[in-house]
Amino acid sequence: MRKRTWLLALILTIGATTGCAVRATYASYARVPPPPPGVEVYGLAPGPGHVWVNGYWAWRGGGYAWAPGYWARPPRPHARWAPGQWVYRHGGYYYQPGGWR
């Protein structure tokens, strides 16, 4: 029984650490700035506790494409969505994905 508990703890620790590391990385690179944010109409939440996650301009196939927003449930109480952003560095634009904080 102790081996199973230890193995489960190890797997959960690796998963939690990997999730944290991914948030700090940049997902896309572009030489040209993104267009202004799109306007989205999102209506009413599908249920209690849902949060609107804004859409963003994604770099795909050599150009920008709008990735639409969606309703999501926070993974834990009091979690807040921090939107992704395009950051200018070293002559280009890097997209830093959003995530739950």
pLDDT in tens, 32-41: 999 998 889 9
What does pTM read for this prediction?
Answer: 0.68
Long-range contact pairs involving 23-26 (C-beta distance under 8 Å, separation at least 24)? 23/97, 23/99, 26/87, 26/94, 26/95, 26/96
Selection from 87, 90, 63 nearest residue 98 by Cα: 87
Helix-strand-coil split of the chain, %, nearest 5? 20, 35, 45
Helix (H, G, I), strand (E, B) or coil at 22: helix
| Beta bridge partner(s), residue 3 | none
Per-residue pLDDT tens over the stretch 49-83: 999 999 999 999 889 999 999 999 999 999 999 99
